[in-house]
Chain A
Amino acid sequence: MTPLLDDAQHFVRDPDWTWYILGYFFFAGLSGGSYFLASFMRLFGKKVDEPAARLGYYVAFVALLPCPVLLTLDLGQPLRFYHMLFEFKWWSPMSLGAWALTVFGAMATVSFVEVLARDGKLGFMRWVARLLDGFLGKLWALVGALFGLFIAGYTGVLLSVSNQPVWSDTWALGGLFLASGLSGSAALMGWLVRFRHNAEPTAPAIGLSERWFQVLELALIAAFAFTLFQVGAFERAFGYPWVLLWVVVLVGLVGGLAFRSARPSPDGTLAAARVHTATLTLTLVLLGILALRAAVIFSAQS
């Protein structure tokens, strides 16, 4: 067999990015993706989509909470976490990400407070909701959606902007992590809307989006594999034992694509069996998203 002429040489050391980083990548994908979906519903949806949008903002905030904790714990000097904001280097994804996470964190928190106020849970903060009515609210949603997309996807670019095998041998990771974060967010929101009756009209749109994001994810996994094959790094990312994680990824994707969410009966109740099936599907999808990131992170450092 003719050796590949473009085999990439790597003489690097592993950065030892492991469980904390895996956790951060997972929650950042869900938080950014949920914020984007919520803002998207507000910007392009109808009035009937507002309850689902609020749900998205809740998810974005809750998923965001572990992110700074995980990132800080991963540092060799955790108390120096704020040194990340000493510099702004647009060409360094970690620097850009630290700034983006700060801005996104503030926006997600404000949106969380706003939807709490709109839902009547935080009456004294009604002024925030009033402030975000009209044009300012649309602008807020637009800017926040862009930051959400960035947070969900930049983690893949961060890996690529290195000299590590696998990570630096492909251009697909940013898009792949984004598509996967969006599909996980849509799956989570699709599962949650069944517990919020007035959000149910948006369920079909969320279900369709989820499947579309999963198709994108599948295409990007294929692109990822192809780019690695070109430089002779395919075996490293897809060989044993990582192939087992890729099986989990595929099971999650197939489960998400095959399962159609259940609609409540007119009195708002759901058959328990359908809830169980939906919960199982969501678990498979989320496990797939976790497995995808684990396969990418750990295989390069093995």
Chain B
Amino acid sequence: MIEITPGRAYGFFTDTSVCIGCKACEVACKQWNLLDGNAPVFGDGYDNTGSLDAQNWRHVQFIDNVPDTATTIGNGKAWLMMSDVCKHCTHASCLEVCPTGSIIRTEFDTVYIQPDVCNGCRDCIAACPYGVIEMNKHTGVAQKCTLCYDRLQGGMEPACAKACPTQSIQFGPIDELRQKASQRVDALHSQGVPEARLYGADDSVYGGLNAFFLLMDEPEKYNLPNAANAVLPSRNNRLGYLASAVTAVLAMIGGLIALRRRREPRGDDSAS
């Protein structure tokens, strides 16, 4: 049993190489957090949850990865499976833009939306690069994974990690999880799985993710932005305001000229 101490950073290490798509994490999450869930989606795969949203704080992605060319026995990869979740970014886009102060960083270094402060402006939804947050239509506030904030406060690990039967979802102090993840990648590489890689374990993606992943393909395959595209909304402040300021100056110059030239004859008087 992990001892959970406020002031220390905790998170998830999700090892997609051992995910079997059982969705026990989804069920445990819904049970603990009293989420009703949505009506199931029946498409052409095994994913009937659809996406992360206000009712699904864990979502097992089933990514069709059937290769275009024939492969040798034992090397086929029909599906990439990943239990997706809020990444609890160190530099969190949602927290950056939230105008009410509803989104906070907790004593466990996780990102939490205070439901009694959120007013449902949805700026965080436009900002989150992972499509994690959605507004709950019944409560009118934004919702996402809390990393079981209430369980952590009670010294318990999050429900999804507790329920995961394959240890694909591991919970613990971030520094320890990173060590484990590094060893796991080394082991996979030595076993002839060179495509295994970590996503969010270092600070290249949003300063490091408190819920990071071991992936079996490029991040884009899992609907995750690569390091070059993992950018914060505030990057556009400077140029956005600069363009406005230049426009304002040009508008003022035009206005001054217009006031000086007020006496010019107007076209319609002669033309029409």
User: Do A157 and B268 contact each other (CB < 8 Å), given the known contacts A13-B131, A86-B101?
Assistant: no
Interface check B224, CB cutoff 8 A: yes
- Please, how many angstroms separate the alpha-carbon atoms of A111 and B90 in the complex? 45
Name the A residues within 8 Å of B6 (CB-CB): none
Name the A residues within 8 Å of B244 (CB-CB): 149, 153-154, 156-157, 174-175, 178
Cβ–Cβ contact B240 & A173, under 8 A? yes
Say which one of A115-123, A159-167, A239-247, A287-295 lies at the interface with B: A159-167
- Please, how many angstroms separate the alpha-carbon atoms of A173 and B262 in the complex? 31
Q: Which residue of B lies closest to A40 (CB)?
A: B255
Cβ–Cβ contact A157 & B99, under 8 A? no
- Please, how many angstroms separate the alpha-carbon atoms of A159 and B122 in the complex? 12
User: Do A163 and B129 contact each other (CB < 8 Å), given the known contacts A11-B223, A216-B247?
Assistant: yes
Cβ–Cβ contact A174 & B101, under 8 A? no
- Please, how many angstroms separate the alpha-carbon atoms of A156 and B247 in the complex? 13
Q: Which residue of A lies closest to B232 (CB)?
A: A163
Interface check A268, CB cutoff 8 A: no
Interface residues on A, range: 35 or more
Cβ–Cβ contact B119 & A75, under 8 A? yes
Name the A residues within 8 Å of B220 (CB-CB): 9
User: Do A164 and B126 contact each other (CB < 8 Å), given the known contacts A77-B119, A93-B237, A208-B257?
Assistant: yes
Interface check A80, CB cutoff 8 A: yes
Name the B residues within 8 Å of A179 (CB-CB): 247, 251
User: Among the listed B97, B119, B247, B266, which residue makes an inter-chain contact with A161, where contact means beta carbons less than 8 Å apart?
Assistant: B97
Cβ–Cβ contact B102 & A91, under 8 A? no
Interface check A14, CB cutoff 8 A: yes
Name the B residues within 8 Å of A153 (CB-CB): 244, 247-248
Cβ–Cβ contact B258 & A206, under 8 A? yes
- Please, how many angstroms separate the alpha-carbon atoms of A75 and B123 in the complex? 11
A32 → chain B closest CB, angstroms? 11
The A interface is mostly helix, strand or loop, or mixed, namely: helix
Q: Which of chain B's residues 79-110 have a Cβ closer than 8 Å to chain A?
A: 93, 96-102
Name the B residues within 8 Å of A209 (CB-CB): 254-255, 258
- Please, how many angstroms separate the alpha-carbon atoms of A16 and B128 in the complex? 14
Q: Map CB proximity to A onto B29-67 as digits: 1 under 8 Å, 0 otherwise.
A: 000000000000000000000010100000000000000
User: Do A40 and B100 contact each other (CB < 8 Å), given the known contacts A15-B122, A174-B240, A206-B258?
Assistant: no
Cβ–Cβ contact A178 & B251, under 8 A? yes
Interface check B259, CB cutoff 8 A: yes
Name the A residues within 8 Å of B53 (CB-CB): 13
- Please, how many angstroms separate the alpha-carbon atoms of A74 and B268 in the complex? 44
Interface check A134, CB cutoff 8 A: no
Say which one of B13-21, B133-141, B145-153, B177-185 lies at the interface with A: B133-141
User: Do A263 and B266 contact each other (CB < 8 Å), given the known contacts A178-B247, A182-B251?
Assistant: yes
User: Do A87 and B236 contact each other (CB < 8 Å), given the known contacts A13-B125, A76-B122?
Assistant: no
Name the A residues within 8 Å of B266 (CB-CB): 204, 207, 260-261, 263
Cβ–Cβ contact A44 & B131, under 8 A? no
Cβ–Cβ contact B240 & A12, under 8 A? no
Name the B residues within 8 Å of A45 (CB-CB): 259
Which of B51, B125, B239, B240 has the most chain A CB atoms closer than 10 A to its own CB? B240
Name the A residues within 8 Å of B258 (CB-CB): 204-209, 212
Name the B residues within 8 Å of A208 (CB-CB): 254, 257-258, 261-262, 264
User: Do A161 and B140 contact each other (CB < 8 Å), given the known contacts A11-B130, A92-B99?
Assistant: no
Interface check A34, CB cutoff 8 A: no
Cβ–Cβ contact B128 & A83, under 8 A? no
Interface check A195, CB cutoff 8 A: no
Name the B residues within 8 Å of A171 (CB-CB): 236, 239-240, 242-243
Interface check A226, CB cutoff 8 A: no
- Please, how many angstroms separate the alpha-carbon atoms of A157 and B102 in the complex? 22
Interface check B68, CB cutoff 8 A: no
Name the A residues within 8 Å of B136 (CB-CB): 76
Q: Map CB proximity to B onto A70-88 as digits: 1 under 8 Å, 0 otherwise.
A: 0000111110110110110
Interface check A299, CB cutoff 8 A: no
A215 → chain B closest CB, angstroms? 8
Name the B residues within 8 Å of A263 (CB-CB): 266, 268-269
Q: A163-B127, A163-B128 are in contact. List 16 more A-B contacts (CB 8 A).
A: A10-B129, A17-B126, A40-B255, A74-B121, A80-B120, A83-B101, A92-B234, A163-B93, A171-B236, A174-B243, A174-B247, A204-B266, A208-B264, A209-B258, A220-B243, A274-B268
Identify 7 residue pairs between A and B in the complex whose beta-carbon atoms are under 8 Å apart, listed by A's number: A13-B134, A14-B126, A40-B252, A44-B256, A92-B123, A98-B99, A161-B127
